[in-house]
Structure 1
Amino acid sequence: MDWRTAEMRITILTVPECPNVPVVRERITTVLGGRSAEVELVEVREAAEAARWGMTGSPTVLLDGIDPFAMAGAPASVSCRLYRDADGHAEGAPSIQALREVLSGTRPALAAADGQDCCEADLLDPIGRAGRGRRAPAERGLRVVHQAVLRHFATHGTAPEAGALEAVAARAGRTATDVLAELDREDFLILDAAGRIRAAYPFSAVETPHRVRLASGTQVWSMCAVDALGISAMLGGQDVRVSSSDPVSGEPVTVTFTGGAAVWEPADAVVFVGRREGSGPAVAVCCDALNFFTSRTSAEQWQCGHPEISGQVVSQGRAVQIGEQTFRTLLQED
């Protein structure tokens, strides 16, 4: 159908206070170009209501009751909805070009992507160095220096100075400065402008939202939620307590590992696993997009407010599994 030949009814389905609604309304106005159309805004609060409307994320645009951006198999949802353009760029609203093509009937609209559509492997690439893993290679003194840095964090809760690593680096015939620079280039750790260690995943030398208390009493910051969940396994199953907070409500979230078993408070807490587009070190691409939330609803609300981040909510068990798989082997002996 060519939508230019008749007055149409455009319905925007949205959760309350969705930040992407003003964007989609502005783009619809631009595409209409003064043509007559009835545009209504419908707030949807419950999953059952979303199912009745055929809403698969906020915002969902209906043309005379039909979702032209519908993707086969997408479930009803009150979570954030993402749309990808022809270049794969994700936004929280259909592009002007996509809306124009839909309204003119020149081609099918761009398929939408929401949290259910994200490829988990792509999301986890920055965490696991695109499949290369976080255990540094044994060559050129990388592993022994890396492990010395991690053990220092675990013992003292702080990063070591380069001078404390010279003897370890010398075994490979290198200086600590050279080895640390290579570890930084390969994203095993992060150096600041002065060459000091700012982070060595999973640990951070600067304050983050995630505090971890080890069985020894040592307390250390972790880079993200997934990193925090991997520390117990990395330290051989040591009992640890992770303390964080929900970025939306500010309410506390704790995970206590005792004898390898994790207890979460609150019981409905989840982890959001996300990333920004592009390449670069994990600290830039995904660390601040990996957070604890008190509930799935809270995580989905946060996602709606961050359309630049692709991601999905994962269960407690899956979040722990990702952390363990990522960090378990880092301190293993050769």
Structure 2
Amino acid sequence: MSNIRDVALRAGVSPSSVTRVLGGYPNVSPELRERVLRAVDEVNYQPDLLAAGLRRGYTKTVGMLVNDVLNPFNAQMMDIFESELRRAGYNVILTNSNGLSEVDLENLLVLKQRRVDGLVASFADDRNPLLATALRSWTVPVVLFDRQVDDIDVSAVLSDHRYGAQQLSEHLVDKGHRRLAMISGSEALYSTRERILGMQDVAQEHGLTIRPDFLISGRGSEEHGSEGVARLLDDPEPPTAIVLANGNTAAVVGALAELRRRKVRIGEDIAVATYYDDPVVALWSPSLTSVWRHVPDMARRAADMMLHRLEDGRRMAHTVVLPTRLMVRESTSKQFTDG
């Protein structure tokens, strides 16, 4: 592998002159710059960007840690966030935890070793005490994406999941439903905990009880969705309304497929709603009631928050909570009468 000395020999200049050109120093003559850059191409010199960044005190990279790259919500967030950071001159290093909290911690260590200038994270378990301990040792800006870690000084962009679940549950109760169920993501996630609380809030207001076994949580997959529906429908007193509150499309597909396999008519025999307004929702028939959130806006807010903190190290950490909105469609529009 070629180095600066090789470039200097090919250009017929000193190594310090090469460093001045490649480092963007002022007062470099056009002739010197042309000779050095031509030599760089001829010897195929690849600069060590990490080492150069460490000498400057920054690496122009931001670490991104997500709990599941297969989740369409995460994929959309990553695409927009990376584009915004790249536009501002930063590269993004992506790590995936595969839904495992221990991998969260491993990925944090990897990104710390790479000396990233900042971190945006959507953890697999935001209640892990080891996670909070690890984050306290970071000196770079941290922005959490739809996660909440207590007792640490970090920024966060959140959706108002509790309000969305309250609105949806109120709608279902108004339609006559008294046995509500939810198939959600892991309760290790802020979003899941808030959705469950929202449903329980409304149940309590109306004197209803959400059965603990009607709150089925787990990592999003087709099996999780289909097995959850099977458990609910095999109950002697099955729910009359199911909320698919897992943001992973695979879990929604699995749940809908199980309902179809059993020839259960959505919107007629049972009410079904989702918590992610994506193409699956738009294409399914009957159309599915959902709780909407503006993922592009969330991603851009997270990017802006990170860039502002990178540019102004004195800027205080803060949290932004963005609204959710209930989108009522055919799958829950029928008035239900038990019996």
Computing the radius of gyration from Cα coordinates, the structure with the larger value is 2
Asked if these proteins are the same fold (TM beyond 0.5), I'd say no
Q: Under TM normalisation by the shorter chain, which class is it?
A: under 0.3
TM-score (norm 2): 0.27
Q: Which has the higher helix share?
A: 2
